[in-house]
Amino acid sequence: MSAFTVQDTVGEVVARHPVLSRLFETERIDYCCGGKKTLGEVCQAKGLDPQAFLATLEQVTSAHRSESDTDPSSMSLTELADHIQATHHAYLRDALPRLDMLTERVASVHGSDDPRLRDVRETLLTLADELTSHMMKEEQVLFPMIRQLEVSDRLPSFHCGSIANPIRQMEAEHQDAGGALNAMRTLTDDYTPPTYACNTYRAMLDALAHLERDMHLHVHKEDSILYPRALQRETELAEGAHAR
C-alpha cells in the first residue's frame, strides 16, 4: 500500500520526505506557500492521474530511503530554529550581496538589449531588503519566542500576545518573497540564458535558480514544520494552564 494518500498536503509529504522537494520543483508544484494544498487538489489542477502520481512519490522516496537527508521533522524546535539560522539565513547573507553585484553588472551591460534585466535587478534589490529585515525579525523576535516556548512549562506572556501574530506576519512576507522569485523566473524565461549570454550572465541565472531552490526549502521548513509546531506547543501550554 502507498505511504501517500490524495488527502495528504504537499507541505506534510515534503516534511516527511525532504527528497520530494526536487520532484515538486521539476513539476512546478509549490510546496512552501502552497503547501496546504492536498495532493488530490494538485493533481486536479495539473491534470495528473492521482494514482500514477502517488506511485511516483513512492518510487522516489523508496529510492532515497537510505539517503541521509537532514530530517527537520525529527529536530526539536530549538534545533530547527538553530539549523535554519545556520544554513538558510547564512546562505542568504552570502548570496544576496553576490546577486546584487551580478544583477548590477548584467543589467548595465545587457539592459539595453533586454530591458527585463533592469526589472530583475530592481526586483532583486527589493527582495534583498525585505529578506534582510525578515531574517532580523525571525532571529531577534520570533525564534527566541519559539525557543522560550520549548523550555517553558507554563505559557510565557509575550509582548505581541499569541505567537500566532508574528507567525502570520512572517507567512505574509514569505508570500511576498515567493512573488518576487516567481517574477524573476518569468523575467529570465525560467533562468534560460540567451545565446549571447556571457559568463557573468550565466552565473547570475545560476545564482537566481539556487536562490529560488534554497528559499523554497527554507520557507517550507518554517511554514510547514517550525511554525505549526510552535503554535501547537503554545496551545498545549495554554491548555495546561487551564487544567491547573
Name the site residues for Fe ion (rule: CB under 5 A): 138, 222
CA angle 86, 170, 14 (to 5 degrees): 65
Which residue in this structure is represented by grid cell 510565557? 156
Provide the minimum distance between the beta carbon of 106 and Fe ion in the complex, in angstroms, as a whole number: 27
Provide the minimum distance between the beta carbon of 135 and Fe ion in the complex, in angstroms, as a whole number: 6
Provide the minimum distance between the beta carbon of 237 and Fe ion in the complex, in angstroms, as a whole number: 23
Q: Indicate the residue among 88 and 110 with the shorter CB distance to Fe ion.
A: 88
C-alpha dist (Å) from residue 126 to 129, 155, 189: 5, 37, 20
Residue by residue, DSSP assigns 71-115 as -GGGS-HHHHHHHHIIIIIHHHHHHHHHHHHHHHHHHHHHTTT-T
Q: Indicate the residue among 2 and 76 with the shorter CB distance to Fe ion.
A: 76
Q: Indicate the residue among 12 and 222 with the shorter CB distance to Fe ion.
A: 222
Provide the minimum distance between the beta carbon of 217 and Fe ion in the complex, in angstroms, as a whole number: 11
Q: Indicate the residue among 30 and 222 with the shorter CB distance to Fe ion.
A: 222
Q: Indicate the residue among 93 and 154 with the shorter CB distance to Fe ion.
A: 93
Q: How far apart are CA 3 and CA 71, in angstroms?
A: 17
What's the grid cell of residue 120? 530583475
Provide the minimum distance between the beta carbon of 183 and Fe ion in the complex, in angstroms, as a whole number: 19
Which residue in this structure is represented by grid cell 494552564? 241
